[in-house]
A = this chain, B = another copy of it.
């Protein structure tokens, strides 16, 4: 039975903690490894290991007695996962899937080879190659590996920006004319069954990155929604995915749909599924990797997700602010309990649910005022 399975998760941040809350629902025993001994998950399992998921030795040691391993971050050691797979440990998503996605350029090439429209981009070895783009500014520069949450991404507008650019293998992307940023979470199991969530839409405030919203369902029209979910399904099949995948996409001003980035794990853009969907993305991940039937992904009511970032403003009476937030009916706080957070770091999120998108946005505006 479920309690006899030894499940492992590489990475022990808030995504891992949200997997844990669903693992409790299935009575699972879960081992988690993170390089930070104080990572959120360190408190929520009896089997926490401090080790770097990018280290061959650490992953081999962690995984040797497990039945199935999944991930909550992409920066994991693929060679170790391949070795463990040979030893009989199930690795979901498959090492090949993670490897293709780990590198933003091979990811793009893979998608193109399957005729999936992507944001156009080229690979460069480092800063010295940037001169080629002097006359093509602005461009978006992304580290090929290990970027996340806005880290490893920068927009180059001027020659001065180029001087301060990352000096690492990068992808240089066209800046496309974006009408909407959307995301689709899709799950697929070993038997090829696929379950796809409705698209969510990002809504940015004037000061980008501070308390931005994600709205579900995305207000992009039925046709575009169907196009987006069809694309996500196609990608999940092309990857022979076992697990869940976030497909971030742009709807351009001329109504094209371009894939921006993939993440083969639970994703920020699926947080709202905990309260708003029949099956949360976290439960769906566990169902997919354990060979259980996929759950219904349907949205039960409109919802909105807002990241909470560490800031000097928030730190002024943080307890008082959180109490006022908790006083709003239908505001679901997820506080990550991180230690020693630097400004700009994600330290929680709130999901707001209500009967209409208008009510949800009105509540979110109250919350924004409280937290600012």
**Minimal beta-carbon separation of A160 from chain B (angstroms):** 40
Category for how many chain A residues contact B: 35 or more
CA distance A354 to B77 in the complex (A): 43
Among A42-50, A178-186, A238-246, A249-257, the one that faces the other chain is A42-50
* A21 and B25 in contact, given A293-B327, A323-B293 (Cβ under 8 angstroms): yes
CA distance A353 to B277 in the complex (A): 12
CA distance A336 to B43 in the complex (A): 20
User: A278: CB under 8 A from chain B?
Assistant: yes
**Minimal beta-carbon separation of A138 from chain B (angstroms):** 39
Partner of A25, one of B25, B287, B293, B333: B333
Which residues of chain B have C-beta atoms less than 8 A from A28's C-beta?
A: 43, 337
Chain A residues numbered 218-246 whose CB sits less than 8 Å from any CB in chain B: none
| Interchain CB contact under 8 A, A326 and B295 | yes
Closest to A48 in B: B46
| Interchain CB contact under 8 A, B20 and A334 | no
**Minimal beta-carbon separation of A284 from chain B (angstroms):** 11
User: A148: CB under 8 A from chain B?
Assistant: no
Which residues of chain B have C-beta atoms less than 8 A from A334's C-beta?
A: 25
Residue of A24, A42, A298 with most partner-chain B CB within 10 A:
A24
CA distance A18 to B22 in the complex (A): 10
Partner of A348, one of B22, B27, B348: B27
User: A330: CB under 8 A from chain B?
Assistant: yes
| Interchain CB contact under 8 A, B293 and A335 | no
Interface string of A26-59 (1 = CB under 8 A from B): 1111100000000010111111100000000000
| Interchain CB contact under 8 A, B24 and A338 | no
User: A80: CB under 8 A from chain B?
Assistant: no
User: A339: CB under 8 A from chain B?
Assistant: yes
Closest 10 CB pairs of A and B: A27-B337, A3-B337, A296-B329, A27-B335, A293-B327, A21-B21, A21-B24, A293-B326, A17-B24, A25-B334
Known pairs A27-B337, A292-B326, A300-B301; list 5 more (Cβ under 8 Å). A1-B322, A2-B335, A20-B24, A28-B43, A43-B46
